[in-house]
Amino acid sequence: MRLGASIVTLLVILAVMAGCTGTPAKSTWSVDDKGVLSLTCAPVTTTEEILISNETYTKSRIVMLTEDGNVTMYLAAPKQPKAAIVYAPGAGEKLTGHEERMIRFASAGYAFLFVDTRGNGGETTGLPFGQHLIQQDYSRFEEGKMPQYYLSICDLISAEKMLSARYNVPVYAVGSSNGGRYAAVAAGVDPKFAGYVGISTSDWGVRDAFVQQGYTGDPLRFATSLEPGTYLNRISPRPVWIFHAENDPIIPFGSGKEFFTKANDPKTFLVFSGDHGINPDVDRQILQQWAQIYAPRG
């Protein structure tokens, strides 16, 4: 049954705000002398519009109302999922390329939340990751303000909180290419994520570039806080799966293998057919891995 856009939006409060009055809470951050980021993410609210609902799954458009702009997300989920995914897409990845995937996971019993990350060219505004964002964010870092990169990590953490509260199931941070980098940081910063899946991903290389240019002190600490490899070993004892194609033309296979070495056990490296980014073979292998975890126990 398809439900029209006239459905009244649902307002969901993601965190208990007992005793909070006056100025809305702001997210706060700190980075230690090793470059490890810590975040306290402000409570957010969401509006939700049901797009499709049938016996297999419900699909909805969710807008997260944050302290610094709205973040759009799309959720496909069965009534009682076994686990849930917070998915961070690669650069330029749009929802249209994931419609079948969302249905595939929902049909297999998993909630799939596509997060339109800041600056990815979709419905959520912001700068894409690159020189301009790094410059802007370092200025904010020096001023003690919240960088956009850290806000993007908070968005994924808030998404985890929403799914966990809604379904009371394990929630995994999953990302492809650039999105795999954001997802790794989120999983390392927030121990509530059940684990991490990175596809066609690696470190950004920003820290190495800063070292080569002779930066030390705050600039190097900031650069280190951006790198997903800073957080991979902090995910343990939660599981890590890294997928990479041998013929990846964008992020070399060797970079994916090197990234994998930074994770602690339990970890699994899987090769998939194709070139770059999540594809049906990756879907199949993820579902195969998770079938062993979430198989019914007799």
Distance CA(163)–CA(154), nearest Å, equals: 14
Summarised one tens digit per residue, pLDDT across range 11-65 is: 443 443 333 334 468 999 999 999 999 999 999 999 999 999 999 999 999 999 9
* Cross-strand bridge partners of residue 48: 10, 62
What is the rounded average pLDDT for all residues in the chain?
Answer: 92
The Cα 74–Cα 63 span in angstroms is 9
Report pLDDT for 19: 36
Determine the pLDDT at residue 296.
Answer: 73
Is residue 150 within 8 A of residue 29, CB to CB? The reply is yes
pLDDT above 70 as % of the chain: 91
- For the four alpha carbons of 229, 233, 238 and 243, in that order, the dihedral sign comes to positive
pLDDT digit string (tens) for 199-237? 999 999 999 999 999 999 999 999 999 999 999 999 999
pLDDT of residue 12: 43
pLDDT, tens digit (0-9, with 9 covering 90-100), for 113-159:
999 999 998 999 999 999 999 999 999 999 999 999 999 999 999 99
Q: Taking the model in full, what pTM does it have?
A: 0.92
Q: Which domains are seen in the chain, by residue range?
A: 10-17+25-294 (3.40.50.1820)
